[in-house]
Amino acid sequence: MPKARAGWKRGEYKLENHEFYMALHFALQYNKWVDRYNAIADTSKGIDNSREKVQTSPNPDEVENTAIELAELKENINAVEETAKAADPCIWMYILKAATNEGITYNYLKNVMMIPCSRNYYYDRRHKFYYLLSKKIKVKT
């Protein structure tokens, strides 16, 4: 497995080591969130799954807990997907694949998935992804 290089201080998207690792580990949880989101029994058909609209009582029941968990999972999933789209609308699926799975290199993307861009362009967009995600996580916390 290739080693992820921590932070970079050159170029337009400057990140410190800890900012990069925070964004990297946040993105790597994406597949776990998607699996959990899809696995949860949808007992909340009548409840809008947005954190602001879910009303909780002092003793929330299982439906409320499930709705809250679904809202949080969807919020995290959307954060990663929207950031990949913001990094580059043309190759966002490749960025998402590489950022959310360990061991996906540019060579894999080029040879197996036929990414339609150069190595330098891809890495610049990936840097932008981690930069934007890092800023999004800071705002969220």
Residue 77 and residue 30 in contact, taking contact as beta carbons nearer than 8 Å = yes
List pLDDT tens digits, range 30-57: 999 999 999 986 555 555 555 555 555 5
Q: How far is CA 71 from CA 22, 29, 37, 67, in A?
A: 22, 16, 9, 6
Taking the CA atoms of 97, 98, 99 and 102 in sequence, report the sign of the dihedral they define. Answer: positive
Please give the mean pLDDT across all residues of the chain.
Answer: 85
- For residue 58, give the 3-state DSSP assignment: coil
List pLDDT tens digits, range 16-35: 889 999 999 999 999 999 99
Residue 66: predicted pLDDT: 85
pLDDT grade for 118, boundaries at 50, 70 and 90: very high
Residue 1: is its pLDDT beyond 50?
A: no
